Amino acid sequence: MSDSLITETVKDAVEIVKDHADDVHVHDVHAGDDHSGDHGGHHTSLGLSNTKLAMWLFLGSECLLFGGLISTYMLYRNRHSENLGPDQLWDIPFTSATSFVLLTSSLTMVLAVSAANRKDLRNAKIYLSVTALLGGLFLAGQIYEFTVFYREGLGFTTSLFSSSFFTLTGFHGVHVSIGIIMLVALIGMLSKEKVSGDDAEAVEMVGLYWHFVDIVWIIIFTVIYLIEFIK
Amino acid sequence: MAIIERPTETPDVTNRGTRPAPKASTNYGYLRRPVETTGWRSWAFTVDHKKIGIMYGAVAMFFFILGGLEAALIRLQLAGPNGTILSADKYNQMFTMHATTMVFLFVMPMAAAFANYFIPLQIGARDVAFPRLNALSLWVFVFGGVFLNTSWFLGGGADGGWFMYAPNSSVPFSPTNGVDFWGLGLQITGIASLVGAINLIVTVLNMRAPGMSMMKMPIFTWMAFVVQMLLLFAIPVITVALFLLMFQRSFGAQFFSVEAGADPLLWQHLFWIFGHPEVYILVLPSFGIISEVLPVFSKKPLFGYPFVVFSGAAIGFVGWGVWAHHMFASGLGPVSVAVFSVATMAIAVPTGVKIINWTLTLWGGKLTFTTAMLFAVGLIVQFTIGGLSGVTHAVAPSDTQQTDTYYIVAHFHYVIFGGAVLGLFSGFYYWWPKVFGKLLSESLGKWNFWLMIAGMNLTFGPMHIIGLQGQPRRMYRWTEFRAGQGFFNLGFWNLVATIGTFVLGVGILFFLVNIWVTHRPNSKTPPAPADPWDARSLEWITSSPPKEYNFARTPQVSALDEFFHRKYEDVGEGDKHEYVQKMTGEEVIQFEEDNADPNIHLPAPSYWPMVLALALPVMAYGVIYNTLLIVAGGAIATMAMFGWALEPADAEASDFDPPVEGDETSKELSNV
Amino acid sequence: MAVSYIDIGPLFLPVLLGLMVVKFFMVVLYFMHIKFDNKLFGRLFYIGLGLAVFVYAAALSTFQFFAG
Ligand code: HEM
Ligand SMILES: [Cu+2]
């Protein structure tokens, strides 16, 4: 469908240029018009869901948000005092464990979406709860990690490194929290008696968001944590 | 929207009960839908894209006047040597707030006004994809703009220049709260733009009338679409910058403090990665507008429509690779400067393509110089002048001479005022009858136009000279001592520029007078004809002003310039085209109305967008004054989001007063 | 640290980044259904992703980030 959006656009363009070399338009009837007859109700030009389009656009936009935060961190990652840098602070096994928790939550999210699509509400609710729980565990891990760093002397304003680290991971943490709120709201929605097709879509949308937060973490974990192994 | 949204002609609303309106509690705890058709509530809580568009426009116009007054103060201060009207400090605030107001609170929202009003009409939709989000964008923008300007009463406006370079924007250099207001205010209006962008992109992609392929879309819609794509990706970049600034100023981080080892150039990069696409965000909507206006008043189709489309898209793309031309003087290093210099020259090409297309549209046409047409032609001329001075600073060595002088001020006002503002005025005159059902006076319009053109050239023309003579921008005083002699005397040209500002001001005043004359209570202006300009595109295939449901029936599109092709028939042979009129515009519209869709569903109005929008400035004041307010704002926002989520997309029958009967829960429009 | 890893010297960075990219796209393609869904969704997302990589890499390179 989107291929047809693009090819159609280009084809039309070529046609206009060809037919209108003398710059006058012909009245051509749009070929292959698939919108015959009834166009009330759920008419969309691409046959795609508005909400899903909006979600993907939003995620595309979020790439530039996190890109900016990650770049800021990359620029400032070495600007710290001798004894309060990644070398002294990172606890890779611990962070690996919390990362694993977050990645697992993506898996349970997939299961939730597919359950919702099958209209298997019981399982959808279970998987959503597990996802939210794992997300919560990840957040708890992050808070714990922040506390440890803080005790070791790394505050938000300690160094350029610390400010950009806390800003980046903090933004990610806020995203996770929002995701958890949405998961909880979803579980509430599914618990209502009336269940519509829209609910399955809502699960899918939250799923997309959740996976996005997950892939951002994949990058953060690699380029912020693991990379410090290079010596 | 309200009861009227279900047009009374349609059969399914005739059956109205007479029970009293239900209390809120019967609606599961959320508020009754504000379905009033008249009074302020019909505006405040509307989700109708047309009303939202008009409100965007009205508020933007207010900010235009405000920004214009600020500009007038600047020019008064510089009219003669050793000006005494403004202190150095107030002067700094004045040019910063002037620019911020003009860019973020006038041109962008005015373009949003046009996009909101006309995109759905031009693609044959009944509304945008997410009507409530649309209302949210509007109110977030309005409250953000007001918030930003309350800084005047709370210790003074921002004073760091519109691009707020670091570290000058840090507390030691700008100790009042002005910069905080600036950063938070732009953060808020940024949310409005981002939400609006997502909404309009989905609308264009997914809500087109049957038969309207992308290449049959009216050109304004295309350009507005490109702009929304730019906003979608540019807003998050400045969001990052503004967050860093906020952490720097309010929470003690040192992102831009050189003494802490920071690179203040980080700010410049982030700002201009956003900032260069931003200049296209400002100017492309106007390009779209005049690409509608020129063909109509030349009685010819737009020359090379696909080229105009693709060059617009190309500008949108290449525009991402040139931001560092704003930083030639910052010590980027020779390689970066060379790369960005070449990329910048490349972007002149698609812009040139557009100018050629416009010129060829005029070529050989039967031209009528209405006010709208004058403004459109004025844009081509004035923008080209600005484009030429622009090329002179794509050349890095020459830019090094010009940067931070009045020459730059001259350049960007020719492109921004000449490119963006003239186009918007062209749009006002062209679409006024569509939106308000009355034609603005042409004779007042001509005064409006010629005074504005004279004024802008008198104001900004001399700035080339005083700039090349070395007068810096952002200086609150100049002295006789260095003013020079003869033709290049700074005193003379500064005075001319100030006089020009007032000519310009009178020109704009004529526009306001024109509105008043046309719409005052006992005005003699008759209602406009349905097709006053012999127009070409889809938005004219409906009454003026359009009904709440836009089109009596969803139009079936088969051509670019659909309206034209319904009115005219091609009787030429082979390659020769000759058009004869087969129907008048009125007849086309009448035909549509005779075949109206039996059932039209529209989304219902809602309180929640406004409530949610209100939470943002509350939180922003919290950042500046008291953390408790952040919590309070957060609470309001959460409540609003839950209210929003629980509210069904359509008003329930019981929301109406008197309530209507029947199942009215169609979901033609999405329920977000 | 209790973790052990194979020392692959100069290959470490490319391998690490490679794995990151693989994992990233696995999630996008399969979990987020980009591989099976309408192509437009993926395109819209990739425009954002591509722009982000491009502008930020260019900006960082003006800081000589990749040189040292
Ligand atoms: C109403 C007519 C206008 C007049 C008379 C005017 C006048 C001026 C003047 C004299 C300055 C230079 C201040 C200085 O450097 O000391 C200035 C700056 C500026 N103006 Fe305008 N302007 C007008 C409209 C606009 C519009 C419509 C826009 C944009 C949409 C705009 C954007 C700017 C910007 C971005 C600056 C730079 C401010 C800075 O240095 O940070 N102006 N204007
Ligand atoms: Cu630029």
Query: Does the distance separating the beta carbons of B670 and A51 come in below 8 Å?
Result: yes
Q: What pLDDT shows up at residue B2?
A: 28
The model's confidence at residue A11, banded by pLDDT at 50, 70 and 90, is confident
Structure tokens at A138: 């990840």
The whole-number average pLDDT for the span C23-52 is 94
Handedness of CA B265, B271, B277, B280 (dihedral sign): negative
Q: Residue B664: pLDDT above 50?
A: no
Tell me how crowded residue B252 is: count the other CB atoms within 10 A of its CB. 12
Pocket test for ligand 1, best of B95, B108, B501 (most atoms within 8 A of CB): B95
Looking at per-residue confidence, does B394 or A39 come out higher?
Answer: B394
Question: pLDDT for B336-360, tens place per residue?
Answer: 889 888 888 888 888 889 999 999 9
**Quick one: which of C12, C49, C5 has its CA closest to C27?**
C49
pLDDT at res. A108: 96
Per-state percent for chain C, helix, strand, coil, to nearest 5:
70, 0, 30
pLDDT of residue A120: 87
Beta carbons of A79 and B557 less than 8 Å apart: no
Q: Answer whether B416 touches A (CB < 8 Å).
A: no
Q: Answer with the residue of higher pLDDT: B201 or A21.
A: B201
Q: Where are chain A's structural domains?
A: 1-37, 50-230
CATH fold for the domain made of B48-262: Cytochrome C Oxidase; Chain A (1.20.210)
Give the burial class of C5: count Cβ atoms within 10 A of its Cβ; 0-12 exposed, 13-18 middle, 19 or more buried. exposed
Is the separation of the CB atoms in B357 and B304 below 8 Å? yes
Residue B157 has pLDDT above 70, yes or no: yes
Of A25, A33, A51, the CB nearest to B301: A25
Q: Is the pLDDT assigned to residue B647 strictly greater than 80?
A: no
pLDDT for the residue numbered B570:
86
Q: CB contact, 8 Å: A1 with chain C?
A: yes
pLDDT at B121 over 60: yes
Amino acid present at B493: W
- Write out pLDDT tens, residues A127-179: 999 999 999 999 999 999 999 999 999 999 999 999 999 999 999 999 999 99
B320-330 pLDDT tens trace: 999 998 898 88
* B162 within ligand 1 shell (Cβ under 6 A): yes
Nearest Cα residue in chain B from A60: B233
**What is this model's ipTM?**
0.90
Tokens of A99: 């990362």
The per-residue pLDDT for B4 is 29
Q: Is it the case that residue B667 has pLDDT exceeding 50? A: no
Residue B12, pLDDT > 50, answer no
In the structure, what pLDDT confidence band is assigned to residue B669 with cuts at 50, 70 and 90? very low
Residue B95 Cβ < 6 Å to ligand 1: yes
Of chain C, the end-to-end C-alpha distance in Å amounts to 28
Rounded CA-CA distance B241/C61 in Å is 18
**Average pLDDT for B563-573:** 90
pLDDT digits (tens, 9 = 90+) for B175-231: 999 999 999 999 999 999 999 999 999 999 999 999 999 999 999 999 999 999 999
* Residue B7 pLDDT level (bands cut at 50, 70, 90): very low
**What's the angle, vertex CA C11, arms to CA C6 and CA C15, rounded to 5?**
85
The tokens describing B610, both together, are 């406004």
Mean pLDDT computed over B465-475: 92
Gap between the Cα atoms of C60 and B478, Å rounded: 39
Say if residue A222's pLDDT is above 50. yes
The β-bridge partners of B472 are B405
- Residues with Cβ within 8 Å of B647's Cβ and at least 6 positions away in sequence, in order, are B30, B33, B606, B608
Domain boundaries, chain C: 1-35, 37-68
Cα B397 to Cα A116, B401, B415, B602, distances in angstroms: 62, 7, 22, 58
More confident residue, B1 or B400: B400
Give pLDDT, residue A197: 63
Q: What is the DSSP string of B497-536?
A: HHHHHHHHHHHHHHHHHHHHHHHSTT--PPBPPSSTT---
> What tens digit of pLDDT does each residue of B507-519 get?
999 999 999 999 9
How many other C-beta atoms can be found within 10 angstroms of the C-beta atom of residue B199?
29
Flag if C54 and B321 touch (Cβ within 8 Å): yes
Lowest mean pLDDT among B262-266, B274-278, B504-508, B644-648: B644-648
Mean pLDDT of B264-270: 96
pLDDT band of residue B642 (cuts 50, 70, 90) is confident
**Ligand 1 pocket check for B411: Cβ under 6 Å:** no
Residues of chain B with pLDDT > 90, as a percent, come to 72
Chain C residues whose beta carbon lies within 8 Å of the beta carbon of residue B265: 62-63
CA of B229 to the centre of ligand 1 (A): 26
Tell me the pLDDT of chain A averaged across its residues.
Answer: 85
Domains of chain B, residue spans: 1-44+603-612+638-672, 48-262, 535-597
| Domain A50-230, CATH among 1.20.120.80, 2.60.200.20, 3.40.50.300, 3.40.50.1220 | 1.20.120.80
CB contact under 8 A, A226 and C38: no
Helix (H) or strand (E) holding B431: helix B422-436
> Coil, strand, or helix at residue B47?
coil
Interface residues on B facing C, Cβ-Cβ cutoff 8 A: 205, 229, 232-233, 237, 263, 265, 269-270, 273, 320-321, 323-324, 332-333, 336
In sequence order, the β-bridge partners of residue B580 are B569
Residue A38 scores a pLDDT above 70: no
Facing A106 at nearest CB: one of C31, C38, C46: C31
* Nearest-ligand number for the alpha carbon of B182: 1
Q: Among B269, B270, B320, select the one facing C51 at the smallest CB separation.
A: B320
Gap from B317 CA to chain A (nearest CA, Å): 15
Sorting pLDDT into bands at 50, 70 and 90, what band is A19? low
What pLDDT is recorded for position A194? Answer: 56
The Cα of A180 is separated from the nearest Cα of chain C by a number of Å equal to 18
pLDDT band for position B649 (cuts 50, 70, 90): low
* Residue B153 scores a pLDDT above 60: yes
Written as six digits, the tokens of A46 are 């691409």
Question: pLDDT-based confidence at C68, cuts 50/70/90?
Answer: low
- What confidence score (pLDDT) does residue B328 get? 87
pLDDT at B16: 32
Q: What is the pLDDT of residue A20?
A: 58
Ligand 1, pocket-test mutation among B75, B76, B102, B110, most atoms within 8 A of CB:
B102
Could you tell me which chains touch chain C, where touching means 3 or more CB pairs under 8 A? Answer: A, B
pLDDT value, residue C6: 61
Q: Which token pair is C44?
A: 């819209």
- Mean pLDDT of all residues belonging to chain B: 89
Per DSSP, the three-state class of B669 is coil
Our measurement of the distance from residue B362's CA atom to the centroid of its chain's CA atoms, rounded to an integer in Å, reads 26
State the CB neighbour count (10 A cutoff) for residue A178.
12
Nearest CA to ligand 1 atom 19: B99
Cis peptide before B433 (omega within 30 of 0): no
Instruction: Write the DSSP assignment of B554-590 as a string of letters.
Output: PPPP-STTHHHHHHEEE---TT---EEE-S-HHHHHH
Cβ neighbours of B213 in A, within 8 Å: 8-9, 12, 30
Expressed in percent and rounded to 5, the helix, strand and coil fractions of chain A are 75, 0, 25
B627 — pLDDT class (breaks 50, 70, 90): very high
The answer on pLDDT for B151 being more than 60 is yes
Q: Tell me the average pLDDT across B260-274.
A: 95
Most confident of A53-62, B399-408, B524-533: A53-62
Q: How far is C3 from chain A (nearest CA, A)?
A: 7
Q: Quick check: B559 and A44 CB within 8 A?
A: no
Q: Do residues B507 and B448 touch, judged by C-beta distance below 8 A? A: yes
Q: Is the pLDDT of residue A31 over 70?
A: no
Q: Mind telling me how many Å the CA of B129 is from chain A's nearest CA?
A: 7
Closest CA to B53 of B137, B125, B143, B140: B137
Q: What would the pLDDT profile of B363-375 be if each residue is shown by its tens digit?
A: 999 999 999 999 9
